[in-house]
Amino acid sequence: MDQTVAVAVITAGAAVSASSLTSWITLRNARQQVEQQLLLAREERAERRSTEHRAARRDAYARFLSEATSAAAMISQARQHEISEELFQSRCAAASDSLTLVFQAGALVLIEDPAEMTEAVRQVRSTLQSELDAARAVREQTGTADAVREAGEQRQIAVGTMIAVARAALAADAESR
């Protein structure tokens, strides 16, 4: 009987040890899976935040450039020759209103973007204002058509520079991911 009890105790001990070992291995594997899932979830969240940030930046650039293009069109309409004073004043007012929208859109760009964009946005806004001022000066016969043309060229250069800086900023943002 003693042998039977000994065999039973040894068998029970082996079963308990095997069960404990199996439970420990299962627990370790489950912990590793949870850690891996947490890591993947963090990476996915970071990727999503980066994508959303890039989209917000791209949208801010697009809005700013769209408003700048609209303002330039309004200024161009105000520059037309042989229009009445009333129509000229109306178009200048519309151009000024459009410039207000450019300033608002520029603020969004400055919030979303790196320092390189600050100068590009400032330059676009400044050249648009200069172009409108030059158009008014021609109308008041205190400026020349050449000054208006030069202001328009400067605006085009500033917009081109802003586009290049925006592309570079978006490309750098994409590479950092």
3-state SS string over the chain? Answer: CHHHHHHHHHHHHHHHHHHHHHHHHHHHHHHHHHHHHHHHHHHHHHHHHHHHHHHHHHHHHHHHHHHHHHHHHHHHHHCCCCCCHHHHHHHHHHHHHHHHHHHHHHHHHHHHCCHHHHHHHHHHHHHHHHHHHHHHHHHCCCCCHHHHHHHHHHHHHHHHHHHHHHHHHHHHHHHCC
Only one residue has tokens 């151009």, namely 95
CB 106 within 8 A of CB 71: no
pTM for this predicted structure: 0.74
Question: Closest Cα to residue 89, out of 72, 73, 77?
Answer: 77
Asked whether the predicted pLDDT for residue 6 surpasses 90, the reply is no
The residue ranges of every structural domain in the chain are: 51-175
Q: Which two tokens stand for residue 117?
A: 């964009």
CATH architecture of 51-175: Up-down Bundle (1.20)
Tell me the pLDDT of the chain averaged across its residues.
89
Question: Closest Cα to residue 63, out of 95, 99, 96, 108?
Answer: 108
pLDDT score, position 80:
83
Average pLDDT over residues 25-33: 94
Residue 49: burial class (beta carbons within 10 Å; 0-12, 13-18, 19+): exposed
| pLDDT tens, residue by residue, 106-142 | 988 888 767 778 889 999 999 999 999 999 998 888 9
pLDDT classification of 99: cutoffs 50, 70, 90: very high
